[in-house]
Chains A and B, each alone.
Chain A
């Protein structure tokens, strides 16, 4: 029977699992949206939301508690200043998970997990990257056409 057994083991030992969740948390706070498997995203949600709640209290004691679980000074600093101010009065539910279909190699269900209050920021960044790519492409094409004309 698996009554009242909570959480996933993710096929890892406890220390490996903790390291994974820490790495995922730091990535999420750094990039605001990350792509991972749906199962890892769901585990990450339960790991990072209490950390963000601690960060919102903003005092030194809570900063030390958060530092103990994340171990990344730069990210903890950003969390306590920039991210907390973006979150504002939101009472929990800081993250959003969206499924995006199955991975080609092993058929794992993939998902985006993002900080709810940074949704538009990530989109703008992706759009800017795409524009940049297209601009570079058209520039290259123009150069090639010029070179062909010169010959």
Chain B
């Protein structure tokens, strides 16, 4: 089986990895309480999604 001739240097490996980046989540404002919330998720602070209460927050 063919194999790589040379070991990949740390520099080459790390250079390749400069393009591996985490993306920031899409955040929006809750229409019910105005807090920041994830898109397409129920609001963690008031429990509302799309005008409906999905759960009652603990506090």
Which DSSP category, helix, strand, loop or mixed, fits chain B's interface? loop
Question: Which B residues between 22 and 59 are near A, CB-CB below 8 angstroms?
Answer: 38, 40-42, 44, 49-50, 52-56
Shortest distance in angstroms between A18's beta carbon and chain B's nearest beta carbon? Answer: 29
Bound Cα distance A100, B53 (Å): 12
Contact across chains for A99 and B52 when beta carbons are under 8 A apart: no
Query: Which one of B40, B52, B56 contacts A126 once the chains associate, using CB atoms below 8 Å?
Result: B56
Assembled-state Cα–Cα distance A119/B51 (Å):
12
Q: Which A residues touch B54, using CB under 8 A? A: 98, 100, 112
Interface bin, chain A:
10 to 19
Residues A41-88 near B (CB distance < 8 A): none
Tell me if A99 and B53 are in contact (CB < 8 A): no
- Structural contact, A99 and B55, CB atoms closer than 8 A: no
Return the chain A residue nearest B54 by Cβ.
A98
Query: Is the pair A100, B56 in contact by a Cβ cutoff of 8 Å?
Result: no
A126 to B21, CA, bound (A): 41
Decide: A101 near B44, CB < 8 A? Known: A112-B54, A130-B56: yes
Residue of A nearest to B43 (CB): A100
**A123 interface residue per 8 A CB criterion:** yes
Complex A-B, nearest 10 residue pairs according to Cβ-Cβ distance, in ascending order: A99-B41, A100-B42, A98-B49, A98-B54, A98-B42, A126-B56, A123-B53, A112-B54, A101-B41, A130-B56
Which B residues are closer than 8 A to A by beta carbons? Answer: 38, 40-42, 44, 49-50, 52-56
